Amino acid sequence: MTEVIVATGLVKRYGDVTALDGLDLAVPEGSVLGLLGPNGAGKTTAVRILTTLLRPDAGTVEVAGVDVLAHPHRARERIGLSGQYAAVDEHLTGYENLEMIGRLYRLGYKRSRVRARELLERFDLAEAGNRPTKTYSGGMRRRLDLAGALVAEPDVLFLDEPTTGLDPSSRTTMWTVIRDLLRQGTTLLLTTQYMEEADQLADDIIVIDHGQAIAHGTADQLKSQVGGERIEVVVADPADLLAAERVVAEVAVGEVHVDEGTNAIAVPVGGGPRDLMVALRGLDVAGVELLDVALRRPTLDDVFLSLTGHVAQPGRERLAGGPGGEAATTVAGGPSGQEVAS
Amino acid sequence: MSALAAAIVDGHVVAKRNLIKIKRVPEVLVFVLMSPIMFVLLFAYVFGGAITPPDGVNYREFLIGGIFAQTVVFGATFTGAGLAEDMSKGIIDRFRSLPMSRSAVLVGRTASDVVYNVLSIAIMSLTGLVVGWRIRGSLLDAAGAYLLLLLFAYAFSWVMAYVGLLVPSVEVINNASFMVIMPLTFVSNAFVPLEFFPSFLQGFVEWNPVSSVTQAVRELFGNAGPATSEVWAMQNPVLYTLLWIGLILVIFAPLSIRRYMRASMR
Ligand SMILES: Nc1ncnc2c1ncn2[C@@H]1O[C@H](COP(=O)(O)OP(=O)(O)O)[C@@H](O)[C@H]1O
Ligand SMILES: [Mg+2]
């Protein structure tokens, strides 16, 4: 398979801050690489370098066979970019934005108009197409920006946090849109702070933190790297708990955990589906009725925690500099935050 | 496509976008176009009595040529502000990710501001007519005066484009441009005849391009005879102004384009 995006040894410094610290990446044709990392990890810096918007202090970049640092203009003809903040003109309508982009790609007057209409239709913006984009919702703006990246039908696409700041339903819409694109064979590099998003969309994931790759693999590989597969069953009758525990203990590779409040049993296993079948057969023979059963693998959140020793914090703004800002984000973070607050 | 052709083709697209914005947010324009009117009224009725131009020329007649020059110089701030705003908005990243001409954003901005300058010069002319100013020369000369004003405005747009790229935000642009514009317009013959300046400033006034534009349009509109000053700039104001226009473009167009490329790499 040919690699469409190749970067080696990317370094970018801002004064004392090293935004990228020797990042390597390669994306084979038609596949999706997810750059996964918390805020400030260096994702945007990497995308900006790959898309000619920024020059690295060191490293090489090749996109679609073009040496990006030597021939940025030629690279721009091949790529589509939708950055972290929607790059749309707020005073122009959605239609005018796309038509302008078409003209600037030199598609010609007619083709630009046709293409603008097509894309508005496809991204469910046809109705809003004649309104200035400052009246658009965040999700609409993101979709318009993505449409802008697609005007010239690029083979290589870069999406920087395409769903950050979107509500769950807009996020799902965006995922569907992206999956449709992938079906057409587009090569995609996507950044995200959401483990689930990388899991959903990416073939291959690079976890980055402080400008360095700290892990690399498929979602499954990353999950198994952390280990910790487990079977979870919920029994219908609390009286069966003891019998059930005895059955599943046979496949356990660690301590079996029984929760009497919820009638749930969690069993660490090593053999995945095979262990699950053994356990289920045993439970059937013992006449235990189940309400629920699952084979759980660790989420990518668990992966991140085990790799970096801290949990990635989606949506956390790094400029919340003062102690007040920190406290506010912690409180928003959930139960542990409330302890801090009280 | 050659770099120049590309800059013109893409600049045209960007200029169209800028004009759409003026159409959508006309308030911006209203304030900028009002200020020349204010200047005419202020100078004509407040300071007018205190200043007597040479050769018994009527001060209001004398004033309008100066305010034409002042208007186009001040108007260039519009270019700087527009550009500073562009640089702070997300759309600039879209422009930069496209295989378009690197100078199109600047070419487009300075071009769309010509439309703005045409409007402000038209408003100025009407205001002038109301307070008693008249075109007293030939129509051909008058057309020449308008053309010279527009060319000077265009060139000066590039100066302010550069300033607009230097400032960190739109808010700073007015102060920054005042540092350039105030000395240029006030230490010139635009509002006050040369003879009124202390002698150490007279040299600056005589060679100041704002003085030469002013002198040139006064002569072309038939509002004043040849300058009393003997210096070459004042005796050949049209030619001297054209030289400045060329000089400004040769210096500030490449400077601004370089600055744009660097600033947008942040
Ligand atoms: N223009 C800049 N000036 C100074 N520091 C910057 C700049 N851009 C990014 N950084 C710093 O570089 C690091 C990586 O930033 P970024 O690539 O935006 O991360 P991410 O997109 O993963 O959130 C951060 O520490 C950030 O503060
Ligand atoms: Mg980012």
Q: What is the pLDDT of residue A128?
A: 95
Q: What is the pLDDT of residue A312?
A: 56
Please state the length of chain B. Answer: 266
pLDDT tens digits, one per residue of B118-154? 999 999 999 999 988 999 999 999 999 999 999 999 9
Q: What is the pLDDT of residue A255?
A: 83
The pLDDT-based confidence of A254 (bands split at 50, 70, 90) is confident
> Could you count the other beta carbons within 10 Å of the beta carbon of residue B208?
21
Q: Chain A contacts of B11, Cβ < 8 Å?
A: none
Q: Chain A contacts of B90, Cβ < 8 Å?
A: 83, 85-88
Considering only residues A110 and A308, tell me which one the structure prediction assigns the higher pLDDT: A110
Give the ligand at the shortest distance from the Cα of A318: 1
Percent of chain B with pLDDT over 70: 98
Distance A313 CA to ligand 2 centre (A): 13
The residue of chain B with its CA nearest to that of A89 is B91
Percent of chain A with pLDDT over 70: 87
- For chain B, how many structural domains are there in total? 1
Q: What is the pLDDT of residue B210?
A: 96
Smallest CA–CA separation between B194 and chain A, in Å? 46
Percent of chain A with pLDDT over 90: 58
Q: Chain B contacts of A104, Cβ < 8 Å?
A: 10, 13, 95, 98, 100, 104
Whether residue A319 has pLDDT greater than 70: no
Break chain A into its structural domains and give their ranges: 3-223+313-341, 228-297
Q: Chain A contacts of B263, Cβ < 8 Å?
A: none
Whether residue A52 has pLDDT greater than 60: yes
A52 vs B24, B94, B97: nearest CB: B97
User: Strand A156-160 and strand A187-192: pairing?
Assistant: parallel
Q: What is the pLDDT of residue A1?
A: 66
Q: What is the pLDDT of residue B140?
A: 96
Superfamily, domain A3-223+313-341: P-loop containing nucleotide triphosphate hydrolases (3.40.50.300)
Q: What is the pLDDT of residue A325?
A: 30
Q: What is the pLDDT of residue B48?
A: 74
Whether residue B265 has pLDDT greater than 90: no
Beta bridge partners of A11: A21, A58
Percent of chain B with pLDDT over 90: 60
The whole domain housing B118 covers 3-263
Whether residue A329 has pLDDT greater than 50: no
Considering only residues B59 and A203, tell me which one the structure prediction assigns the higher pLDDT: A203
Degrees to nearest 5, angle at CA B173 with B42 and B206? 55
The pLDDT-based confidence of A271 (bands split at 50, 70, 90) is confident
CB spacing of B9 vs A73 below 8 angstroms: no
Whether residue A226 has pLDDT greater than 80: no
Output phi, psi for B236, to 5 deg.
Answer: -125, 60
pLDDT tens digits, one per residue of B147-188? 999 999 999 999 999 999 998 888 888 888 888 889 999 999
Q: What is the pLDDT of residue B226?
A: 86
Give me the amino acid identity at B255: L
Residues with CB under 6 A from ligand 1: A 14, 17, 19, 37, 39-45, 318; B 266
| CA of A38, closest atom in ligand 1 | 22
**What's the average model confidence in pLDDT over A279-300?**
86
- Range scoring the smallest mean pLDDT among A310-314, A329-333, B1-5, B74-78: A329-333
**Which residue, by CA, sits nearest to atom 5 of ligand 1?**
A14
What secondary structure, in 3-state letters, does chain A show? CCEEEEEEEEEEEECCEEEEEEEEEEEECCCEEEEECCCCCCHHHHHHHHCCCCCCCEEEEEECCEECCCCHHHHHCCEEEECCCCCCCCCCEHHHHHHHHHHHCCCCHHHHHHHHHHHHHHCCCCCHHHCEHHHCCHHHHHHHHHHHHHCCCCCEEEEECCCCCCCHHHHHHHHHHHHHHHHCCCEEEEEECCHHHHHHHCCEEEEEECCEEEEEECHHHHHHHHCCCEEEEEECCHHHHHHHHHHHCCCCCCCCEEECCCCEEEEECCCCHHHHHHHHHHHHHCCCCEEEEEEECCCHHHHHHHHHCCCCCCCCCCCCCCHHHHHHHHHHHCHHHHHHHC
Considering only residues A69 and A299, tell me which one the structure prediction assigns the higher pLDDT: A69
Q: What is the pLDDT of residue A88?
A: 93
The pLDDT-based confidence of A36 (bands split at 50, 70, 90) is very high
Mean pLDDT value across chain A: 85
Distance A161 CA to ligand 2 centre (A): 7
* The token pair that represents B2 in the structure block: 């050659």
Size of interface A-B (CB pairs under 8 A): 68
**What's the average model confidence in pLDDT over A97-112?**
96
Smallest CA–CA separation between B72 and chain A, in Å? 26
CA of residue B261 relative to chain centroid, distance: 24
Considering only residues A266 and B47, tell me which one the structure prediction assigns the higher pLDDT: A266
Whether residue A326 has pLDDT greater than 60: no
pTM for this prediction: 0.81
Whether residue A336 has pLDDT greater than 80: no
What secondary structure, in 3-state letters, does A201-229 show? HCCEEEEEECCEEEEEECHHHHHHHHCCC
Mean pLDDT value across chain B: 90
pLDDT tens digits, one per residue of A180-204? 989 988 999 999 988 889 988 999 9
Q: CATH code for A228-297? A: 3.30.70.100
**What's the average model confidence in pLDDT over A136-146?**
93
Q: What is the pLDDT of residue B199?
A: 92
CA of residue B157 relative to chain centroid, distance: 6
Q: What is the pLDDT of residue A318?
A: 37
Q: What is the pLDDT of residue B215?
A: 96
pLDDT tens digits, one per residue of B198-240? 999 999 999 999 999 999 999 999 988 888 888 999 999 999 9
CA distance B189 to B228: 12
Q: What is the pLDDT of residue B225?
A: 84
**Which residue matches tokens 């349009």?**
B217
